Structure 1
Amino acid sequence: MLTPDDISAAHARIAGHIRRTPTVALGPETFGLGIPLSMKLEFLQVTGTFKARGAFNTLLGSPLPAAGVCAASGGNHGIAVAYAATKLGIAARIFVPEISSPAKIARIRETGADLVVGGARYADALAACEAYAAASGAHSVHAYDAWPTMAGQGTVGLEWEEDAGGLDTVLVAVGGGGLISGIARWFDGRVKVVGVEPEGSRALQAALAAGGPVDVEVDSIAADSLGARNVLARVHEVAARHVDSVVLVPDEAIREAQRRLWLNLRAAAEPGGAAALAALIAGAYRPAPGERVGVLACGANVDLASLASLV
């Protein structure tokens, strides 16, 4: 089981390899929402997302086989594992599905890691990755269903609390659930943690409603980063205890959040990275009067042509 001590240890372990991303206080006028926000700018992380935290914690946390590592990913986890492996001198092979964005595929290639593109969805890439791990002996680094991954992602919450104490609620985008599980375990009830999923990709909400992980259909503009079909057992175990609730947002609100992040902060956010803000834009989460709200902006690996079409 994941503990706050695991997250503190992860933060110390990865400190020399990641950025401590800034937290900014934004006035009520910033996004036209009429409320002040604390925004953690995790899109400024190395590799463009929080995923570098879990990747470095996994690769630094235990001895690895001579065959190196492998990972299945919609894109961002693959970028992070490839980047961390290259920096640490470890061989890596990354498997991504055909829905991965060209921008993310290009970033993986830039690291020098081996890249395999195939299958319609993340689950297909995961099956290929697991087959390769069994045949080669490489260590498979799971995108979310692993304690070291969750501990690394939980360091986002540790920094956020240190840099912006006094929050009542934080909004966190959910794909497979490793990020929100780590953050919620860190806050441990001191801060309400609300998950935000696209309406067309609701694996965590479905799992919490069913009392255990279940498969869901995935159809969203954020599918390449928030497109897990099933959150799996470890994520459900943590989220069921520590995540307060999950809200759903339409793709239109995610696009609008991308647009406002660009217009107001000049932040080039990918759809998944803008989803948490979309919860406020769509009214899926309505803060109480005086509630101190934080929003995690967590990913910037966006195709600039698609962003330009929104603004």
Structure 2
Amino acid sequence: MILSDPLRLAARHARPVLVAGLAGGIALPGLAAVLSRWLPEMVVILLFLGALRLSPCDLRLLGNGLPRAAGYVLISQLALPLAILAIAFALGAATSPVTLALVLLACAPAIVSSPNIAAIMRLDVATAMQLMIVGSVLLPLTALPVFWLLPGLGPMDQVLGAALRLVLTILLAGGGAILLRRLALPVVSASALQRIDGASVVALAVFVVALMASVSETIGTDRTAFLFWLGVAFAANFGTQLVMLRLGRDPVAGARALVAGNRNVSLFFVALPPDVTAPLLVFLGCYQLPMLLTPVLLSRAYRR
């Protein structure tokens, strides 16, 4: 029975599990503070589990409309962050933490759970999966010029080091999971796939608990700063999705809007030095709220 299988149970009740992670992180700041020390390792685990879900058939489907998907990724992960950075330089705000947050967010690929959220919202799952995978594969190439132009990342050798860490993370976690799936798990039953999804949900819930450490601290010391970063997170996430929905005119526009607004910015916490990412922990914690609430608050907009 599914009640005796905690991973399948977690997969079936993903949203309550993730909400519990949010609540637990805020209610248990001590636990959140301990788990926050392992954020980079958790990012690697999440990437591994997300890639482990991809079957050989899923990977073959990537070839359908691949040039168009790659073009979309280049616009959303390279042209968009460069445009934001150009505007910030023009306004004299290139070194602002908000600029850093928005540029890294625009530079990031879609979150690994994009296909799952697309399925919940009855959007085109194949498009969400394709854009997530292509975006992750191209990320080292699209991120390098952005890293080079971002103030505060240091000289060129540090920029190249950050890009190299990004490549190694994707190759070892994502590539290792795909290789394991192909060699050891070529055929996976529906129940086993559900357990993989459940493991991803549990890992994401623990990750959310860890992210809430900085959020809890900010709520206790500076509620104005918390509300500010919460507003930035909602505006960036929901604003991007609503603009993309408005611009879209084809059957897969909803899937493109979903991946455009929900980005895996946590990947950069593996590649970039802690002194660069530390000011963004509050933003990353706040960003989980619009991500988790997308199926609830934006379902009506997507149905239109």
Larger Rg: 2
- TM-score, structure 2 as length reference: 0.29
Higher helix share: 2
Higher strand share: 1
